[in-house]
A and B are shown apart, each in its own frame.
Chain A
Amino acid sequence: MNLFFQQIINGLTLGSIYGLVALGLTLVYGILHIPNFAHGALYMVGAFMSYFFMTDLGVHYWVAMAGSAAVVAVLAILCERLVFHPLRNSPPIHDKIAAIGILLFLEAVVQMFWGSDFRRLSSPFTGIMNFDGLIIPEQRLLIIVGAFVLVIALQLFLRKTMTGATIIAMAQSREGAFLVGIDANRVAMMTFAISGVLAAVAASLYAPINLVYPAMGHLVIMKAFVIIILGGMGSIPGAIAGGMIIGFAEAFGGFYISTAYKDIIAFGLLVLILSVRPQGLFAKGAH
């Protein structure tokens, strides 16, 4: 029973991280129709920024996380301005290749400064909480709560603020948004910034129980793609639900089936789903 509960915690933890990364990816896709292959690199830079702020500048975990989020948000905006914006009318293959270029660049830069060694981000939350025999490490609890708070905050932002409303409007209909006079550039930059913040926070939350290294974004971004295909490209609830599905599938699959192959579960699932339903699981209609 305890082991089972442990897997639920693991599933929630993984699902929270995947969900946050997938949220950023799906927002960008929904608005600009770019599958941002560089999103995993933003996640990776987020982890390294937190690491840098904590070990080299000696600031507190929370401050490091905030600083990392700010840096990555700026980086994401730069990507939008310098790369994706000029390519908005190019053939669809171009923005994908450009995204790969960004990814390769960011990885090489990080590797130049920090090498390709595995590093560990220390967190002040190293304790273990014991609820009547049920054991939850503090950091995992923090991840789950943190992700929950972020999602709520994002929802509030999207539903209650003017900027948020324009993002939603543009995600629903690009042409429509232009007609009613929405500043598409501002919305695009804002969306990229949000996706960067989400990636950086997710990375900073997850890094203390995982490792920090230049290629750490590869698996995460691929899984995030699986998640948003599962949940419907551009759908916010879909990204959260998809994140949880993959998180739980991995936690339980890794425990009950095979640890070695747990990473393959997400991709196997994707191959299966797309083989049966080329337009994704929850995608509406065929268009």
Chain B
Amino acid sequence: MLFKLGSLLMKPGAKMALLAFAIVFPFLADNEYQVYVMASAFVWAIAVYGLNIITGYCGQLNLAHGGFFAIGAYTLGLLTADAGWSFWPAFVAALVMTAVLGFFVGIVSLRLKEHYFAIFTLCVGFIIYLLIDKWEELTHGPIGVRDIAAPSGFGLVDFTETTPFYYLVLAFLVFSIWFMGRLSRSLLGRTFIAIRNGDELAQSLGINLMRNKVLAFVLSTTYAGLAGALYAGMVRFIGPEEANINHTFDMITYLLVGGIGTLTGPLLGTVGIVWITQSLQFLEEYRMIIFGPLLVILVIFFPRGITGQFLTWMHHKAQSLAPGKKRRESKVQTASAREAENNA
């Protein structure tokens, strides 16, 4: 049953169907609140795609991701609320800001291996939080930033309303996934995966570690900045809690459940968990009683999450179905067709 549903999802038309569902969702929703929840799930999904680049593809556990999300949100918030910029220039500035800061943090932190990198980024994330919380002259400290501009509309479209904003976020999400798909199939994506397989092996294949890791890191922080800026434009009121390490932990959970290093995993994990926690309100506060052990179980038994598990199953099914001619060229074809998905 689950697999039937799964194989349906693998069909080329499935992506279109998913997109069609996302497009008509506001008309199917019972109320505006559901549209709002879906839009926020999409925003988080964009950030999780970013985390997937550096952590899923490139294998470096970045614990400052929530911090970069907050930097994107604050750049947009402060520029529109305090400096009087309109939304779109501030939006671009937020992307540039997270990319540039990502570059500088990247060139320092990515010289560190494994544990050191994780610990270093944990500290960077905390420094970001502390700066936002304490640097009151700039960030207003714990009071937060109010009156953040919404995206300026075009003609009749008014992005202060939920549904138009939903479509705006959806457009960015589609672009994010489209780019991720292209990246993961490309030589560049394969380069990142080679680094995940091991630094020494990647180097001996002629891969410049630093250049590629920094590129992956900057891409990931830019995704975080994009999500943060959209978030600020959506909620229009932000505080230091946006930089709380728990946001990073949430994103890791979404990524792990959906499937780390897969193309659909971040979307499935984020939208799935956001809706589960929404529909089971009592879970909101104590959700980690379930998701904490779930993380442990996933890394022990299903390290590639729902999507990864499903892809492995599909692969083996294709192998056993190929009649007679065991291990033949034809299977290379089926495998290649699925490569886009799997290749991450």
> A: which residues have CB within 8 A of B?
29, 33, 35, 37, 82-83, 86-87, 90-98, 100-109, 111-112, 218-219, 222, 225-226, 229, 233, 260-261, 263-264, 267-268, 270-271, 274-275, 278, 280
- Give Cα A275–Cα B289 distance, bound, in whole angstroms: 37
- Mostly helix, strand, loop or mixed at chain B's interface? helix
Contact B118 A96 (CB under 8 A): yes
Given A33-B115, A101-B293, A104-B291, 10 extra CB contacts under 8 A: A82-B296, A93-B61, A95-B299, A98-B300, A111-B285, A225-B122, A225-B123, A261-B130, A274-B120, A278-B111
Contact B112 A278 (CB under 8 A): yes
Interface residues on B, range: 35 or more
- Give Cα A264–Cα B130 distance, bound, in whole angstroms: 7
Contact A86 B252 (CB under 8 A): no
Type the 1/0 row for B116-151, where 1 means its CB is closer than 8 Å to any CB of A.
Answer: 101110111011001100100000000000000000
Q: Which of A93, A109, A263, A271 contacts B59 (CB 8 A)?
A: A93
- Mostly helix, strand, loop or mixed at chain A's interface? helix
User: What are 14 inter-chain pairs, A to B, with CB distance below 8 A?
Assistant: A90-B299, A93-B55, A98-B299, A100-B249, A100-B252, A104-B295, A106-B292, A107-B288, A112-B289, A229-B119, A261-B130, A268-B127, A271-B108, A275-B108
Instruction: Given A86-B300, A112-B289, A229-B119, check contact A97 B295 (CB 8 Å).
Output: yes
Contact B116 A274 (CB under 8 A): yes
7 A-B pairs with the lowest CB-CB distances in the bound complex, closest first: A105-B292, A101-B295, A108-B288, A104-B292, A104-B288, A101-B296, A94-B299
Q: Which of A112, A225, A267, A274 contacts B112 (CB 8 A)?
A: A274
- Give Cα A278–Cα B119 distance, bound, in whole angstroms: 12
Smallest CB-CB separation from B114: which chain A residue? A92
Return chain A residues, CB-CB under 8 Å to B122: 37, 222, 225
Q: How many A-B residue pairs have CB under 8 A?
A: 120
- Give Cα A231–Cα B297 distance, bound, in whole angstroms: 33
How far, in Å, is A106 (CB) from chain B's closest CB? 8
Return chain B residues, CB-CB under 8 Å to A270: 120, 123
Return chain A residues, CB-CB under 8 Å to B127: 264, 267-268, 271
Contact B118 A91 (CB under 8 A): no
Instruction: Given A108-B289, A222-B126, A271-B123, check contact A102 B118 (CB 8 Å).
Output: no
Return chain B residues, CB-CB under 8 Å to A229: 116, 119
Instruction: Given A101-B296, A270-B120, check contact A92 B289 (CB 8 Å).
Output: no
Smallest CB-CB separation from A34: which chain B residue? B115
- Give Cα A104–Cα B286 distance, bound, in whole angstroms: 10
- Give Cα A87–Cα B301 distance, bound, in whole angstroms: 10
Smallest CB-CB separation from B285: which chain A residue? A111
Return chain A residues, CB-CB under 8 Å to B181: none
Instruction: Given A94-B299, A233-B115, A271-B120, check contact A103 B130 (CB 8 Å).
Output: no
Smallest CB-CB separation from B136: which chain A residue? A260
How far, in Å, is B81 (CB) from chain A's closest CB? 23
B303: Cβ under 8 A from any A Cβ: yes
- Give Cα A219–Cα B129 distance, bound, in whole angstroms: 12
Smallest CB-CB separation from B59: which chain A residue? A93
Contact B287 A108 (CB under 8 A): yes
Return chain B residues, CB-CB under 8 Å to A264: 127, 130-131, 134
B294: Cβ under 8 A from any A Cβ: yes
- Give Cα A139–Cα B123 distance, bound, in whole angstroms: 30
- Give Cα A93–Cα B197 distance, bound, in whole angstroms: 12
Smallest CB-CB separation from B105: which chain A residue? A271
Smallest CB-CB separation from B197: which chain A residue? A91
Smallest CB-CB separation from A221: which chain B residue? B122
